[in-house]
Structure 1
Amino acid sequence: MRLVVFDVDGTLVDSQADILASMVDAFAAVGLDAPARQDILGIVGLSLPVAMEALVADADHARMVEAYKGSYAKLRLSKGASSSPLYPGARAALDRLQAQDDILLGVATGKSKRGLDGLIEAHGLNGMFVTRQVADFHPSKPHPSMLRAALEESGVETADAVMIGDTSFDARMAHAAGMPFLGVGWGYHAPSQLDGARAILNDFSELDDALNALWTD
């Protein structure tokens, strides 16, 4: 069996509008102006407490995290699937992989369990992923804990697994776990930041060939 682990924000779904809006609310909750757009998107993938600390050193980070979570949940409930739309070709790629008897799918995300569960429900992805690793139960990326848990839960060996993501945190997490990494070029970090990527995908239509090349090397 082989395991394909996806990051979520910036890889499977484009959630930047709600991330930016929720971060504005988080900073407003402690009387601060939000950082620039590129600075906010630069921390996507980190667990929220770590992300807040990276954006502002001296603030009530716990209050910011709660404000962010509340804002994001309200946006998700009001907008449904349009809150974090799937990138073009993402659903078709997931369906193709799930249809293969020797491939298991998983996710490793900085989202909370509540956030990931809501997104999966909104997009009708229930039953798609055999392992769902979230920020609630692990150190923040790039610590390899999520990927180690995904391997253990799925029963797949490291050499038969791959991490797919859009940020340097994903790349570093995969490296720390000894897992091959495929980057995507449509996410929140520039492709030049995805050190050690075996390939950079420009479109989900390139995923199948990239996986075949990875596992036939």
Structure 2
Amino acid sequence: MSRPLRLVIFDVDGTLVDSQGDILAAMTAAFERADHPAPEREAVLGIVGLSLDVAVPRLAPHLPADLHTRIVGWYKEAYMGLRAQTGVAQSSPLYPYALDTLRTLHAVPETLLGVATGKSARGLDKLLDGHDLRSFFVTRQVADHHPSKPHPSMLRAALSETGVAPENAVMVGDTSFDMEMARAAGIPGIGVSWGYHRPEALGAATAIAHDFRDLAGLIDDIWRAPA
């Protein structure tokens, strides 16, 4: 009997790539243009993964909505400028062993790979092309088309596009938003400890990975576990 199709869905920032330098710099630049003190580092990293239209009001709830909108635009402008200066590989480097793990998972015929990210489609395309990753992912869910995490819309769409059942999927991410999204979609979640939320914040995770080299084994363990 052949094995069922399975799907591994990855978050991007803080999971596959470390883009915190440009995220922090771009947010600082955006708030400076708003003539407002930049949020603290921990606050900014704490909202990574949310869509920008949700993240910015969380960082500065006392500012008016029209200024939130302008800050979002200034952030995008600053982020794109920083990435253009250094290139994707330096702006958002892959975490150690990320590429090897993607290759290992991709080599299994029954295993499909996907992305669910708070990035825009344009931002994700730039990153995938910069690292030559586009061929790995059969489904790519972005902020343009879905409510912000932790709403399960992205994962439901990924399941629908691939025809994979929730019990045969896994969400891999570094934030509580990723793990809560997975739980809401009925998908096991693997939290990673190298990202932007501390491991103790990933309470909804089924398992925690501390090294990319452990990820394939953790995924197999989840799928071998009795339902």
TM-score, with structure 2 as normaliser: 0.94
Counterparts of 2:153 and 2:134, CA distance in 1: 24
Show the counterpart of 1:121: 129
In the alignment, what sits opposite 1:48? 52
Q: Residue 19 of structure 2: which of 2, 15, 23 is its match?
A: 15
CA offset digits 1:57-85 (Å, max 9, x no partner): 11401100110101111111221111000
- Residue correspondences, number: 217
CA distance in 2, matches of 1:130, 1:78: 30
Contact 1:131 1:153 in 2 (8 A): yes
2:199 partner letter: P
Alignment of 1:70-109 (within 5 A): 70-80=77-87, 81-109=89-117
Equivalent residues of 2:117, 2:142 under 8 A apart:
yes
| Match 2:181 to one of 173, 183, 191 | 173
The SS at the match of 1:200 is strand
1:197 aligns with 2:205: yes
The corresponding residue for 1:6 is: 10
In 1, distance between residues paired with 2:183 and 2:33?
A: 36
Alignment gaps of 5+ in structure 1? none
* SS of residue in 1 equivalent to 2:172: strand
The amino acid across from 1:128 in the alignment is: F
The answer to whether structure 1 residue 33 and structure 2 residue 73 are counterparts is no
In structure 2, give the amino acid aligned to 1:51: A
TM-score normalised over the length of structure 1: 0.98
CA distance in structure 2 between the partners assigned to 1:25 and 1:133 by the alignment: 27
1:152 is the counterpart of 2:156: no
| Amino-acid identity (%) | 58
Could you tell me how far apart the structure 2 residues matched to 1:196 and 1:209 are? 19
1:67 corresponding residue in structure 2: 74
Deviation at 1:26, TM superposition (A): 1.2
List gaps (5 residues or longer) in structure 2: none
Counterpart residue type for residue 24 of structure 2: L
Kindly provide the amino acid, as one letter, of the partner of residue 153 in structure 1: E
Contact 2:176 2:204 in 1 (8 A): no
**Counterparts of 2:207 and 2:166 in 1: how far apart (Å)?**
18
Deviation >6 Å, runs of 4+: none
Task: Return the offset for 1:152.
Answer: 0.6
The answer to whether the 8 Å contact 1:29/1:63 transfers is no
Mapped partners of 2:191, 2:140: distance in 1: 19
The 1-side partners of 2:86 and 2:125 are apart by: 15
Aligned to 2:222: 214
Render the CA deviation track for 1:163-188: whole Å, top value 9, x for unaligned. 00000000110011011000000000
